[in-house]
């Protein structure tokens, strides 16, 4: 699947990794549905990218407004070919240990990071299955597999997202719809700075470094030898060059 003229929905698209992915997709002539909660930053991103491609900016919360997001995308473009579930919620900061984690905050993190991506997939998947093609990329984290103190809430949500991705891959085997869970690795982003306030992250790569892997996953069929192979493609903070 080449990105030219494909319709891609990218959540968390106003900054960081989501914006870098959107920039690369735009350069490949994909048409974009950019989703983010912060309207000013989203408007700025849309203005930038609309110089290159057709852009629909949807200033909504994927945890609350998935139905409206899906409807807006389908009303504007008639179909969606690619979903990048990038929007994430870090949770309370300073990051609490699990024995002190407020249960209502944990529910919110799980809703945004695991339940909301599945909901958006559920809404957009039928038209992919009808056409027999589509790519869904869920942004994960090594916190979903490694036990980092203080990262329990966020990590649990990413572990859930990864398992959702694996089960969907099994259930959609043979449908033509590909499912990936991608760990982009540690990055120097606003979210990481919130997670570790005061820590110098200047040695970490920016989100523009892993972003090309998302183009690769759309444009290359990477699961030829098994439907789970692609789920581990970038586990090692590996960037596809």
Residues with catalytic annotation? Answer: 154
Q: Which two tokens stand for residue 35?
A: 């989703």
Q: What share of the chain is helix, strand, coil (3-state, %, to 5)?
A: 45, 15, 40
Considering only CA atoms, which of 143, 71, 74, 63 is closest in space to residue 108? 63
Q: How far apart are CA 65 and CA 88, in angstroms?
A: 15
Sheet holding 31-36, edge to edge: 55-59, 31-36, 7-11, 82-85, 134-139, 177-182
- Looking at the chain, how many residues does it have? 241
Contact of 223 with 177, CB cutoff 8 Å: no
């Amino acid at each position: 699947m080449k990105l030219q003229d494909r319709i891609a929905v990218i959540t968390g698209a106003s900054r960081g990794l989501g914006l870098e992915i959107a920039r690369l997709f735009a350069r490949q002539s994909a048409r974009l549905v950019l989703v983010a909660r912060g309207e000013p930053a989203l408007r700025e991103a849309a203005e930038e990218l609309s110089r290159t491609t057709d852009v629909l900016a949807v200033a909504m919360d994927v945890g609350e407004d998935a139905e409206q997001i899906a409807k807006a995308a389908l009303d504007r473009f008639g179909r969606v070919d690619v979903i990048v579930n990038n929007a994430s919620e870090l949770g309370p900061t300073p990051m609490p240990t699990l024995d002190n984690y407020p249960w209502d905050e944990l529910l919110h993190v799980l809703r945004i990071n695991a339940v909301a991506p599945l909901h958006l997939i559920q809404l957009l998947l039928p038209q992919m299955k009808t056409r027999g093609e589509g790519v869904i990329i869920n942004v994960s984290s090594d916190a979903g597999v490694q036990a980092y103190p203080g990262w329990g809430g966020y990590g649990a949500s990413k572990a859930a997202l990864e398992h959702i991705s694996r089960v969907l891959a099994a259930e959609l085997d043979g449908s033509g719809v590909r499912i990936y869970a991608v760990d982009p690795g540690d990055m120097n982003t606003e979210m990481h700075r919130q997670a570790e306030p005061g820590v110098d992250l200047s040695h970490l790569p920016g989100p523009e470094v892993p972003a090309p892997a998302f183009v690769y996953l759309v444009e290359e069929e990477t699961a030829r030898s098994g439907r789970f192979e692609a789920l581990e493609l970038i586990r090692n903070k590996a960037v596809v060059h």
